[in-house]
Structure 1
Amino acid sequence: MKRTLLFPEYIFESSWEVCNKVGGIYTVLSSRALTLQKELGDNLIFIGPDFGEETPYFTEDKRLYIDWVNQEKELALRVGRWNVPGNPIAILVDFKPFFAQKNDIYTWLWEHYQVDSLHAYGDYDEASMFSYAAGRVVESFYRYYINGNRRVVYHGNEWMNGLGLLYVKSKVPEIATIFTTHATSIGRSIAGNNKPLYQYLDAYNGNQMADELNMQSKHSIELRTAHNVDCFTTVSDITALECKELLDKPVDVVLPNGFENDFVPKGAAFTRKRKLARAKLLNIANALMGTRLDDDTVIVSTSGRYEFRNKGIDVFIDSLNRLRHNDRLNRNVLAFIEVPGWVGMGRQDLQERLALMEQGKTFDTPLDNPRVTHWLHNANDDKVLGMMNYLDMHNCLDDKVKVIFIPCYLTGDDGIVDMPYYDVVLGNDLCVYPSYYEPWGYTPLEAIAFHVPCITTDLAGFGLWANQVKGADSELRDGVKVVHRTDYNYNNVADELCETIREFAAMSPDEVKTCRDAAVRLSKKALWSKFIAYYKEAYDIALSKSAKR
């Protein structure tokens, strides 16, 4: 008879990205909250950093846990709700006061867990003080409200929450601890430094590479956390290999990142929003370049963090340049690169043209530098513009492929697009995410949820998952084209991207519909309602170990 899995009565989960929208972990936690809330209610509590300013992602509620907050003299807390589906409870903690105790905290960390903080630089101190503060929050709340024979889990995300996990493990051993690394600090650094990660993965020594790449402290906290928590997890099979080789610790469970599609518009609302998004993107292009691109244009995009090689931005630009010279391309292709750079202001000349176009005026001459929507502080050093210059890509009027750089977060108030990302992405015909280093890959999952087929690689966790679902190499007609990528086949990848986009541009409306319908079907296999089972396995492992203590 199968044993019933242990499930927590309380879950505390901390991340630098709780109520702080700076990366993909925000999406992981915020979209998963509703699924967990259905079982835990307000016993699901998120902990994030308090930067002492108002944020659209958090609403304070001074009625929540007022007795605890009032008696807690050592922690500066704000308690409220995270403004995401389900409105889960969030506790924001001010970590800055702990900088005064930093040396004592690091000494304790060395004495108990042999974590090397001597080589700390950059964001290590800030992340560690937040992590310590978050651990103190869990300890304090537990002592005040929970003490006793209750099943409690503390789940920390990334190396940035390692210190707090080790603190809780030491100070409140009754609490089960789970650590999720979304990308190993050493693996990301090896890839980001243009070193071949995959062919030599089994030969790399994590400690040796940490010394070489000046990553000793981040690697040390990640390594010691992985070895000391009750349950060590990551987000994909490909990152699990990294963990085994670079952290010398196999993961206990792989926790793939799911998605909630509640906010994907349906029916007429979807059609209306898609039409608005396409009109906005085409208007921006026509105003910027003096063109007359119409709705028959194939709109393609990539987006995500500005990691030029890791995210495959380089090979995406290269493939578009090859497509520009492809005689078999029979339609106009308009490509957008939506990654946040060192952005200045939205271009005033572009704003003025867009305003005039709303009154019916048209333009047949381009603006200066018709490749970028916002001025950059470092335009001369920017990698996207630099590669486009190198390849002589200037969006000339007779180019069938035109590429526009939108170097900002699409939050709805950037001055040019003025639409949030989810309202923009559904205007695409095809999205391209040809990552070299991508532990999971939320952007392709988001794309297919919004009915947009996409291209990714089998070096992305999501791409591997798509292949596993099909049981073979996934193609566009399956909703996702998964391109084979290695350390050394850059040119093959660029050629395959070029050809896949060209083939898509030549598809009939019925063939495109087949791709779009398949994308939606695949996205439903990645809903949190499907993937939460992996989390339940992790909770059971962690609670079983803590029960023995």
Structure 2
Amino acid sequence: MQVPAAAPAPLAPDALLVEVAWEVCNQVGGIYTVIRSKVPATVQGWEDRYCLLGPYFAQQAQSEFEPYDDYQLSTLSDPFAGAVREMRKLGYDVHLGVWLVTGRPRVVLINPYQAYPQLGQIKSDLWHHHGIPTPDHDDLLHQVEAFGHLAKIYLQTLAAEVVPPQRVVAHFHEWMTGVAIPALRREQTPLHIVFTTHATLLGRYLAMNDPNFYEHLMLVDWEAEAKRFNIETAVRIERAAAHGSHVFTTVSELTVRECIYLLDRIPDAVLPNGLNIERFVALHEFQNLHQQYKAKIHEFVMAHFFQSYSFDLDKTLYLFTSGRYEYHNKGFDLTLEALARLNYRLQQSGLEGNVVMFFITKRPFHSINPQVLQSRAILEEVQETCEAIERQVGERLFYAAAASQDHRLPDLSSMVDDYWKLRYRRTLQSWKTTNLPPVITHNLVDDANDDILNFVRGANLVNNRHDRVKIVYHPDFVSPTSPLFGMEYGQFVRGCHLGIFPSYYEPWGYTPLECVARGVPAITSDLSGFGDYVMQNVPQHEDKGIFVVQRQEKSFDESAEELTEMLWQFVLLNRRERIMQRNNVESNAEIFDWKNLRVYYDRAYTLALERQ
């Protein structure tokens, strides 16, 4: 698979494209990033022949969806609008409008709850026609099956609106929309259907529970395992969608094996994921942005650590990992082991400097640790006191300089009022402590059984003064409303020096790609779709700041040692070398732009149009 040199030409004008995803105007998972970031490149190629279809959830749609009013809808002459008008005539709650993202694509949203009165019949049809059972009392499955029924009706209405030689390609993402596919095929709806699984549902469950997932894959009894994990309905929907589509696709060469053994169909194509790189390009600004956001991380680190002890921030590197809390799948276990080894190496080496490692993930918590909040609040008071003293000394020094006949610098301490001296001393006294800086910023619901905390306690990697690797575990996503960071996740990424994502199971992996798009070096693994793609398609990828840990056919210890060596080599770089590396990363990010990777999708659509 080669990286295409340029964006593909638009397809034949007789093709319409409908992309169906649960995440359209509905930010609930990683596929939201895929769909949303791909929109500008898809609109560029398909223009007004492109439309997205998803479920209508009022609260989520409110901030992202701009509906057409009745007059606008009545004036549109395209088949997408025509199908919406026909459904409305029949009493369906269906909305047509614009998704408020770059590219402003046309979107159809259908309220799944309106089909709840027909759920009994929908479930009966799925069982009798396709052997898919549905338990009672599972509302997500009910939403999925209701939406699938309504999506089928919309696509059948759209197909009736289309005048030959015009044809319709319907591209479904994941099992949550794939429920419509078997019924569309059984009823012989004239559509050309593409189905993409971004990660097989069963594969994700198995990988989380089997440390030797890849070795055991070909021996899996899919039906027994689906029942064991209580996901039989979803797995059967996924299999029916894979077998019912004209063209079946997945996102990486790694997930091809999963599809073969767990879904019993060889994918027709691999569709690697990209990003809309233009969103991140800051021309010559990105080095300045790194400094700007690193300064905000400095503020957090001073508040978190300097209450107990201080270290030189100019000689401190900020590393991070982020994503869904899957301790083994996401490689948190490997990362922690490598950090413990790096800590020992740094202590033995005598080198100057420290590493602060951030774990950004999502875990149930009661509240932010009051000690962490209080420390930050007192540090802000210290800053206000210092600024007040600075202003007072500045004014008095300027007056003294203008009035004095003496060229010597006056005693600056005498220019500070006793009030500010006393406040300065008291604030510092109330802030400083002999306690160690906390590893975790929040109070977890189940602190005793958290794998990250259990590792750092067992390894005594608990932010001792002598530790050269410090840990900050933030069990909530970074956002501008967070009182601890107060910035966007993307800004936090820009402020860091290196992202670490050595996943054991990762069908694609957006987190290292998001680093690369922002000019930040990243570590991935050969068991992630992104890492596998890089190894096949990006020559000299380490020179471009993308490092791939070998995990296939390697022991945990071997991979941990390789990751430790990567981190060690990174720590040894000087400032000039790190700046050059960031320049290389940023200048090569365009390899992963959707404008270049959209060609894989269009090839799949061309193949679907050739199949009946």
Fold-level similarity (TM above 0.5): yes
| Secondary structure of the structure 1 residue equivalent to 2:215 | coil
Any unmatched runs of 5+ in structure 2? 1-8, 75-80, 384-427
State the alpha-carbon separation in 2 of the partners of residues 420 and 4 from structure 1: 35
State the alpha-carbon separation in 1 of the partners of residues 63 and 271 from structure 2: 28
Tell whether 2:222 aligns with 1:200: no
| Secondary structure of the structure 2 residue equivalent to 1:10 | strand
AA partner of residue 343 (structure 2): R
Does the 8 Å contact 1:288/1:371 carry over to 2? Answer: no
| Secondary structure of the structure 1 residue equivalent to 2:277 | coil
Could you tell me how far 1:393 is from its partner in structure 2? 2.5
Aligned counterpart for 1:403 among listed residues 445, 448, 471: 471
| Secondary structure of the structure 2 residue equivalent to 1:402 | strand
| Secondary structure of the structure 1 residue equivalent to 2:266 | coil
What aligned pairs does 1:491-506 form with structure 2 within 5 A after superposition?
491-506=557-572
Does the 8 Å contact 2:181/2:240 carry over to 1? Answer: no
Partner of 1:57: 64
Cα deviation code 1:270-294 (max 9, x no counterpart): 3343223212222222212224351
Tell whether 2:309 aligns with 1:309: no
Q: Which moved more, 1:40-49 or 1:294-303?
A: 40-49
State the alpha-carbon separation in 1 of the partners of residues 506 and 521 from structure 2: 18
Tell whether 2:104 aligns with 1:96: no
Does the 8 Å contact 1:453/1:516 carry over to 2? Answer: yes
Does the 8 Å contact 1:198/1:487 carry over to 2? Answer: no
Q: Residues 423 and 142 from structure 1, CA distance in 2 versus in 1: closer, same or farther, beyond 3 angstroms? A: farther
State the alpha-carbon separation in 1 of the partners of residues 327 and 145 from structure 2: 27
Could you tell me how far 1:420 is from its partner in structure 2? 1.5
Partner of 1:541: 607
Does the 8 Å contact 1:305/1:311 carry over to 2? Answer: yes
Aligned counterpart for 1:108 among listed residues 125, 128, 132: 125
Q: Which moved more, 1:355-364 or 1:282-291?
A: 355-364
Aligned counterpart for 1:412 among listed residues 474, 477, 480: 480
Could you tell me how far 1:471 is from its partner in structure 2? 5.3
Does the 8 Å contact 1:233/1:251 carry over to 2? Answer: yes
Q: Residues 313 and 366 from structure 1, CA distance in 2 versus in 1: closer, same or farther, beyond 3 angstroms? A: farther
AA partner of residue 65 (structure 1): L
Q: Residues 382 and 65 from structure 1, CA distance in 2 versus in 1: closer, same or farther, beyond 3 angstroms? A: farther
Could you tell me how far 1:147 is from its partner in structure 2? 5.0
Does the 8 Å contact 1:297/1:331 carry over to 2? Answer: yes
| Secondary structure of the structure 2 residue equivalent to 1:198 | helix
| Secondary structure of the structure 1 residue equivalent to 2:210 | coil
State the alpha-carbon separation in 2 of the partners of residues 406 and 366 from structure 1: 22
Aligned counterpart for 1:150 among listed residues 139, 162, 166: 166
Aligned counterpart for 1:18 among listed residues 24, 29, 51: 24
Tell whether 2:184 aligns with 1:191: no
Partner of 2:357: 335
State the alpha-carbon separation in 1 of the partners of residues 433 and 152 from structure 2: 59
Could you tell me how far 1:233 is from its partner in structure 2? 0.3
What aligned pairs does 1:373-522 form with structure 2 within 5 A after superposition?
373-470=441-538, 474-475=541-542, 477-486=543-552, 489-522=555-588
What aligned pairs does 1:519-538 form with structure 2 within 5 A after superposition?
519-538=585-604
| Secondary structure of the structure 1 residue equivalent to 2:166 | coil
What aligned pairs does 1:174-185 form with structure 2 within 5 A after superposition?
174-185=190-201
Partner of 2:269: 253
Cα deviation code 1:11-57 (max 9, x no counterpart): 21122221222322111111111011113223322222222215433
Could you tell me how far 1:257 is from its partner in structure 2? 0.3
Partner of 1:239: 255
Partner of 1:228: 244
Any unmatched runs of 5+ in structure 1? none
Give the greater-gyration-radius structure (CA).
2
Q: Residues 463 and 535 from structure 1, CA distance in 2 versus in 1: closer, same or farther, beyond 3 angstroms? A: same
Aligned counterpart for 2:299 among listed residues 275, 283, 286: 283
Does the 8 Å contact 2:149/2:180 carry over to 1? Answer: yes
Aligned counterpart for 2:94 among listed residues 54, 74, 77: 77
Cα deviation code 1:293-318 (max 9, x no counterpart): 51331110011111111111122122
Aligned length: 541
What aligned pairs does 1:352-371 form with structure 2 within 5 A after superposition?
352-361=374-383, 363-365=431-433, 370-371=438-439
State the alpha-carbon separation in 2 of the partners of residues 522 and 201 from structure 1: 35
Aligned counterpart for 1:28 among listed residues 23, 31, 34: 34
Higher helix share: 2
Q: Residues 122 and 183 from structure 1, CA distance in 2 versus in 1: closer, same or farther, beyond 3 angstroms? A: farther
State the alpha-carbon separation in 1 of the partners of residues 599 and 14 from structure 2: 14
Tell whether 2:289 aligns with 1:273: yes
Partner of 2:396: none
State the alpha-carbon separation in 1 of the partners of residues 470 and 315 from structure 2: 14
Could you tell me how far 1:83 is from its partner in structure 2? 2.5
AA partner of residue 582 (structure 2): R
Q: Residues 487 and 410 from structure 1, CA distance in 2 versus in 1: closer, same or farther, beyond 3 angstroms? A: farther
Does the 8 Å contact 2:144/2:179 carry over to 1? Answer: no
Cα deviation code 1:523-543 (max 9, x no counterpart): 211111111111111101111
Aligned counterpart for 1:292 among listed residues 310, 316, 319: 310
Does the 8 Å contact 2:522/2:545 carry over to 1? Answer: yes
Does the 8 Å contact 1:120/1:217 carry over to 2? Answer: no
Q: Residues 128 and 522 from structure 1, CA distance in 2 versus in 1: closer, same or farther, beyond 3 angstroms? A: farther
Cα deviation code 1:319-347 (max 9, x no counterpart): 21222222236420011111111144444
State the alpha-carbon separation in 2 of the partners of residues 378 and 219 from structure 1: 30
| Secondary structure of the structure 2 residue equivalent to 1:307 | coil
Query: Share of identical aligned residues, percent?
Result: 30
Could you tell me how far 1:269 is from its partner in structure 2? 3.9
Q: Which moved more, 1:486-495 or 1:188-197?
A: 486-495
| Secondary structure of the structure 2 residue equivalent to 1:393 | coil
Q: Residues 217 and 511 from structure 1, CA distance in 2 versus in 1: closer, same or farther, beyond 3 angstroms? A: same
